[in-house]
Structure 1
Amino acid sequence: MASEVSSLEDQAQKFAQSLTATVHAVDPDCEPFTAKYVEGAPRLAVRQSPSKGIPLKVDGVPFLDLKVIFECCMDSKGDYLAVEKSRIEVTPKAGSGPTFRYEYDRNYTKAPPAHMHVHAHRDAFTYLMATAGNSSKRSKRRVESGKVPSLQDIHFPLGGHRFRPCLEDILEILIEEFGVDMQPGTLKALRDGRANWRRTQARSVARDDPQSAVDVLRSLGYDVVWNRSGEEPPVRWDRLEQY
């Protein structure tokens, strides 16, 4: 158990350092990320300290705050760091609340584990939600509540456990769509961070679906054989099927 805790702390600190490197490529003055234990829970929160958010500017003027938190634990086998929960929230300086936010909860069952909320007012969406059917539990609760629905109530799915966006994706969309200021080398840092994230996720996908990984490697010319006792690991259909 002691080695597992040490491994969790070590990997969480490295994750915090990689996040700091990413956000410093956009704003070198923002607060670094640190990893600290969540009170009463066997997991570490990786967040800025103090949690002021990542200040993003347009033409040198504060424009958006990007608040980011990851809660991390060990994976089911106790080998690798896993994100148990995450929240990435974009809030305009001129507003009173977030414009949109990305959330992930690996244990969530009432909605897609990776999803996005859009905080906005749009008549067409409101009409659709107010007049929607009740074929699902969520839509039925919404219809029966009698409340005026809001666009932020919809959980837009974002690729499930393995294919969800990374912090680098969100920083780049803010640069591309809102013209957030960059530093020299910002886009290169975001591309490097994204590549590292996707390679980590590729390893996780291979553990979820080892047979497909074996098939692809064999098609590329590799010799892949099972060399352990017992049965080969099964496909984790629950991970692949969850939206």
Structure 2
Amino acid sequence: MTSDLHGQARSFARELQETLNGTICRDIRMVAVVRPFSASGTVFTIGSGLSKANPTQPQGFPLRTDRKKPLAWMNLSYQVRMDDELTYLTIHSSYCGIFTDETLETCLCHFDFEREKEQYTSAHLQVHGTSPALAALNRGKDAKRSLDKLHFPVGGKRFRPSLEDIIEFLIAERFVDARPGYEEVLERGRERFQVKQLRAAMRRHPDVVEQFVKEQAAT
């Protein structure tokens, strides 16, 4: 089963790599490396700069399509495992941070997904900056809470942003330059993500699928 997981994890890493290099990056390599230990069973980390010697800490990479100095950097990682039926690859957690420096010290925002989080929504966005409104809302033990400590919900487990959505955001806001034809790359990747999410939802709700099929047959 570990070999099957590794194969699916490597395939997913290639998909991410092709999406990045086809839109806002050049020569980025995404790899899948098994983690030394996980309470969730066998888990692979997917990211840039990983190896057997470094299986858990992906490196940031520049967002540029040429050799010009980049304005932004991305730190991207996924932890993946097999689902409860030991059949399909599932994302246990993911992180996508946008930074303005190679050392990843100055963060604009990061998109997180943590499947087993209970304190706040599993898919969320955290934004770095200042907010007079937050200062006015804070009180008591939260009086000094900063903006980056808020977890803004972004669609939950099934409808969270995909990597393609984040890339489109960076392009639309003019933080990065894009390759010609990037729209087609994003559309292919987004379609792939949405189909996977739909299939997962169908497996978890066969009664809804059955009812839908009956309704369609009756029309």
TM-based fold match above 0.5: yes
Question: Quick one: distance in 2 between partners of 1:153 and 1:43?
Answer: 27
Matched-pair contact (CA < 8 Å) for 2:19–2:185: yes
Render the CA deviation track for 1:153-195: whole Å, top value 9, x for unaligned.
1111112111111101000100011252111221110110000
2:189 match? 193
Q: Which deviations, in whole Å up to 9, do the C-alpha atoms of 1:39-72 show, x marking residues without a partner?
A: 1232000111254423224994411111110000
Question: For residue 63 of structure 1, what is the aligned residue in structure 2?
Answer: 71
| Residue 157 (structure 1) aligned with residue 153 (structure 2) | yes
TM-score (norm 1): 0.78
Q: Structure 2 CA distance, aligned partners of 1:211 and 1:154?
A: 36
> 1:27–1:55: 8 Å Cα contact kept in structure 2?
no
CA change 1:58–1:179 in 2 (3 A) is farther
Q: CA RMSD in A?
A: 2.1
TM-score of the superposed pair, with normalisation by structure 2: 0.87
User: d(CA) in 2 for partners of 1:11 and 1:58?
Assistant: 28
- For structure 2, the residue ranges without an aligned partner over 5 or more in a row are 51-57
Q: Would you say how many aligned residue pairs link Structure 1 and Structure 2?
A: 206
Between 52-61 and 32-41, the greater mean CA deviation after superposition:
52-61
Following superposition of structure 1 onto structure 2, how do residues 29-108 of structure 1 map, counting pairs within 5 Å? Answer: 29-41=26-38, 42-49=42-49, 51-57=58-64, 60-93=68-101, 96-108=105-117
**Within 5 Å, which residues of 2 pair with 1:118-129?**
118-128=127-137
Cα distance in 2 between the residues matched to 1:166 and 1:116: 12
* Letter aligned with residue 47 of structure 1: G
- What CA distance in whole angstroms lies between the structure 2 residues aligned with 1:105 and 1:46? 15
Secondary structure of the structure 2 residue equivalent to 1:46: strand
> Which runs of 5 or more residues in structure 1 are unaligned?
132-142, 223-243
* Structure number, greater radius of gyration: 1
